[in-house]
């Protein structure tokens, strides 16, 4: 079955530590996205990639980094510069960046120890 | 900038009750409008969409009509089931690319037997 897979489901970060969230899709989609979901707030865009080897900052990119070396993979690193990292992180993909049907992974809950 | 406002939850209904979840938007131009649903432990899924004024999106018994005069896109279902328990997100796209996709804060719906 085609889909989008995020791992791990739960992740804990120590102070000063970088952590990487995995996102893999086998839908052959060009575009991929990372969103942050906080209680009582809508989804906020962190980074997006329209095509492999390219990515752009979203609305809240500070303290995060990404790479897009392969079409199917779009990992997100939460760096120590992100002072409030506790949130639910959602990865999504779409056929291309203008196709508004997004497919979402099941998310990663990141918490700070 | 563009924004989406949803009715605050949580909403609790009995099985077979009528459902309305309100959504209003602010946008320039002629956006497309969406409802996404997030079932427990899963990512978001596109439920329905409408791309122009007076369009009605429908899926799985849910409906929403794009009302430009009231800038609204309310979600309705005539008879809810326990399996409809989820978080529902209203969203809009200005049709310039998915980096401008704007989500509401989500409304948690619980259906009791």
Per the CB < 8 A criterion, the answer to whether A34 and A90 are in contact is: yes
Q: How far apart are CA B80 and CA B85, in angstroms?
A: 9
Cα B50 to Cα B7, B22, B39, B81, distances in angstroms: 19, 15, 22, 24
**Per-window interface: A 20-59 vs B, CB < 8 A:** 31, 33, 40-43, 45, 48, 56, 58
B24 vs A: CB within 8 A: no
Task: List CB contacts (< 8 A) between A36 and chain B.
Answer: none
Task: Please tell me the predicted confidence (pLDDT) of residue A1.
Answer: 60
Task: Please tell me the predicted confidence (pLDDT) of residue A69.
Answer: 97
Task: Please tell me the predicted confidence (pLDDT) of residue B65.
Answer: 98
Q: Is A104 exposed, middle or buried (0-12, 13-18, 19+ CB in 10 A)?
A: buried
Low-confidence winner among A24-33, B14-23, B46-55, B89-98 (lowest mean pLDDT): B89-98
Nearest-CA residue of chain A relative to B40? A106
Do B41 and A106 make contact, defined as CB atoms within 8 angstroms?
Answer: yes
State the DSSP code for B93: E
Mutate to test the interface with B, among A2, A23, A43 (most CBs of B within 10 A): A43
Please give the mean pLDDT across all residues of chain B: 93
Task: Please tell me the predicted confidence (pLDDT) of residue A83.
Answer: 87
For chain B, percent of residues with pLDDT exceeding 90? 79
In this structure, the strands spanning B107-112 and B11-14 are: parallel
State the DSSP code for A18: -
Task: Please tell me the predicted confidence (pLDDT) of residue A42.
Answer: 83
Q: How far apart are CA B74 and CA B67, in angstroms?
A: 9
Write out chain A's pLDDT in tens, 113 residues. Answer: 669 999 999 999 888 899 999 999 999 999 999 999 998 788 999 999 999 999 999 999 999 999 999 999 999 999 988 889 999 999 999 998 888 789 999 999 999 88
**Per-window interface: B 40-99 vs A, CB < 8 A:** 41-46, 49, 89, 93, 95, 97-99
Task: List CB contacts (< 8 A) between A105 and chain B.
Answer: 43
């Amino acid at each position: 079955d085609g889909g989008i897979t995020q791992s791990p489901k739960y992740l804990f970060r120590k102070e000063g530590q970088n952590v990487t969230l995995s996102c893999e899709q086998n839908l052959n989609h060009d575009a991929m996205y990372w969103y942050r979901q906080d209680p009582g707030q809508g989804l906020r865009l962190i980074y997006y990639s329209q095509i492999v080897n390219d990515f752009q900052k979203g609305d809240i990119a500070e303290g995060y980094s990404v790479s897009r070396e392969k079409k199917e993979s779009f990992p997100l690193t939460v760096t120590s510069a992100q002072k409030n990292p506790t949130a639910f992180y959602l990865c999504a993909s779409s056929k291309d960046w203008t196709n508004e049907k997004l497919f979402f992974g099941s998310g990663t809950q990141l918490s700070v120890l | 900038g563009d924004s989406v406002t949803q009715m605050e939850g949580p909403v609790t209904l009995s099985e077979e009750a009528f459902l309305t979840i309100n959504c209003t938007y602010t946008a320039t131009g002629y956006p497309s409008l969406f409802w996404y649903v997030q079932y427990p432990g899963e990512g978001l899924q596109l439920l329905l969409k409408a791309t122009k004024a007076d369009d009605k999106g429908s899926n799985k018994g849910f409906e929403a009509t794009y009302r430009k005069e009231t800038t609204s896109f309310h979600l309705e279902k005539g008879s809810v089931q326990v399996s409809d328990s989820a978080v529902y997100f209203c969203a809009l796209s200005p049709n310039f690319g998915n980096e401008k996709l704007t989500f509401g804060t989500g409304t948690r719906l619980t259906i009791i037997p």
